[in-house]
Amino acid sequence: AVLVPRGYHPVGVPAGYDCYYLNVMAGPIREWRFTLDTDHEWLMDWNSNAARG
């Protein structure tokens, strides 16, 4: 396990491998506060041909 208290913590996985990424929220204020790099937003569009490769 790794604790990342602040900043960026990207995850990369080679083609053909599975990745499991668990986020845990703690503390009195539980609020997801993330942003996507505009150059990589297309990766979140699961229906596009570009995202499928």
What's the confidence (pLDDT) of residue 49? 66
The domain spans of the chain are 1-53
Q: Residue 38 has what DSSP assignment?
A: G
Distance CA 41, CA 51 (A): 10
pTM for the whole thing?
Answer: 0.35
* pLDDT tens for each residue of 12-29: 889 899 988 887 778 888
Quick check: helix, strand or coil at residue 46? Answer: coil
36, 26 in Cβ contact below 8 A?
Answer: no
Distance CA 53, CA 50 (A): 5
